[in-house]
Amino acid sequence: MCDTERVQREAQEGLSWVMEQGAAYADVRVHLDDTAESLVMYDGNLEQNETLSQQGLGVRVLWGGAWGFCGTSDLRRVHDCFARSLGNARTAAALVAIPLEMGEMPGHRSTYQSPVQVDPFSLPLNERIDLLRGLDARLREDWIQRRIVMATTQKKTVQFWNSEGTCIEKRLTNVFGTVMIMAPDKDGQMQRRSHNLYTRGSGTRGWEMITDRELFGNHVDRVKQELADLLPADVLAHGRRSVILLPGQAWLQVHETIGHPLELDRILGYELSYAGGSLVTPGDIGTLRYGSERLNVSSFGNIENSPGSFGFDDDGTPERDYLLIDRGILVNVLSSRAMVNEVNHVAGRTVVKESGGAARATTFYRTPLERMTNVNILPGTDGTVEDIVAATVDGIIVDTPTSWSIGSNREHFHFGCEIAWEVKDGRRTRVLRNPTYQGHTIEFYNALDAVGDASSWRVEQVENCGKGEPNQIMQLGHGVPVVRFDNVLSGEKG
């Protein structure tokens, strides 16, 4: 097994060595205690009972304006890892058009720990399984054909050191949960309804989240009733109407059409070969009317109990709470240290003053890149969900994604949802199935005409956002209220 003190000592030696070789910057992340568990109860059977434990280190070296990286699960080879990373950076430096710079940041010693009451891994496995079994029993009905209850828990300790003298230890815990049921509709096509564990933004984020009935268990009866309502429902007709997104759908709208296009690496063109670019240009920062006056979007949001809250990013930058969109105007983006100089150079003015603390790596063997933290629509002044419904003449309310397809620069989108409710003259009139809606991002957000107040706002957790080459999965959050958009194309023809 690993000798913790030796790894730490060799990591420090490695940092000193690469700097002596002429590196401009270097950092190392060591994961010694990194565990995840996935439990899936499917039709009452524990079909997934998986754990993953991992150990290793990742070394990043900036040399000649270019990054080299090396990750390994072999903790005996710390020095080799530094040598390989430096070699990779030197090779990369042979083809550099705009040298990357990290800027300056004073070294600091810091720690961060997710607020947790009950460490999920401190409980016996059968206690975690019992929770799933209890929920599954409550989902069971003769007319329900599929029942799925899932719980994913993650716990990791990350030690970070860089060449500036920064030393950070992070202890992060995440808990995710889902209940889902399926049954055939009147046309014999399978419909589903689900609920994902969410947070109110404050409090703790251990196992106590998933046992909080308000956040999870109490939604079982609602989900069952809504699926029952879906089965005899008509299909949403094609046409233009107001679309009201509940938080269970609004989070993905924000994720795909605000969060991703505001990642600075996408804006600068570093993700073109995989995730895509952005409709935003560096010159747009500070000037682009992204949405209506009602649209206020923040990063981080001082949310204490979300997967998007992590204390310090993998550049060593503290999390920062700042506005991305202020009364409809794009004012900032999601950034890491190495992109700040470049975006200001391309824009020809200072459009980003400092790193937004968004450099995140999924684990030790992947390199940090621009990632969402918590990207949030701030609560508005248009009242509760029912207030907004009451003020809607012709529209639909939609909830929970089934499909999402977005243009490569996030300029347009098409979403499918689990359920819709028709709204006519201020009243919910009936349930509709197979709802979809589509639009063009800037036009859509400029048609935002109602934003719910704090009563409708909640933090939706995202377990599996994919991005980057090599591919990475990241966990994050979105604080969102109910929102209404005017004149949206929805439903499919035919």
Query: From the CB of residue 195, how many other CB atoms can be counted at a distance below 10 Å?
Result: 22
Query: From the CB of residue 75, how many other CB atoms can be counted at a distance below 10 Å?
Result: 20
CB-wise, 49 or 218, nearer to another protein? 49
Exposure on the CB side of residue 339, measured as CA atoms within 13 A: 27
In one-letter notation, the amino acid at residue 59 is V
CB-wise, 13 or 50, nearer to another protein? 50
Provide the minimum distance between the beta carbon of 213 and another protein in the complex, in angstroms, as a whole number.
22
Provide the minimum distance between the beta carbon of 40 and another protein in the complex, in angstroms, as a whole number.
10
Closest listed residue to residue 250, CA positions, set 488, 478, 491, 63: 478
Residue 23 phi, psi dihedral angles, 5° rounding: -65, 150
Provide the minimum distance between the beta carbon of 146 and another protein in the complex, in angstroms, as a whole number.
6
What gap in Å lies between CA 353 and CA 166, rounded to an integer? 21
Exposure on the CB side of residue 166, measured as CA atoms within 13 A: 26
What gap in Å lies between CA 258 and CA 324, rounded to an integer? 9
CB-wise, 396 or 459, nearer to another protein? 396
Q: What angle do CA 414, 478, 467 make, to 5 degrees?
A: 65
Pairing, β 322-326 against β 25-42: unpaired
Provide the minimum distance between the beta carbon of 203 and another protein in the complex, in angstroms, as a whole number.
29
Provide the minimum distance between the beta carbon of 337 and another protein in the complex, in angstroms, as a whole number.
14
What gap in Å lies between CA 461 and CA 457, rounded to an integer? 13
DSSP annotation string for 390-402: HT-SEEEEEEEEE
CB-wise, 410 or 458, nearer to another protein? 410
CB-wise, 81 or 246, nearer to another protein? 81
CB-wise, 276 or 318, nearer to another protein? 276
What gap in Å lies between CA 321 and CA 356, rounded to an integer? 8
Provide the minimum distance between the beta carbon of 2 and another protein in the complex, in angstroms, as a whole number.
8
What gap in Å lies between CA 236 and CA 178, rounded to an integer? 26
CB-wise, 54 or 384, nearer to another protein? 54
CB-wise, 109 or 345, nearer to another protein? 345
Exposure on the CB side of residue 160, measured as CA atoms within 13 A: 31
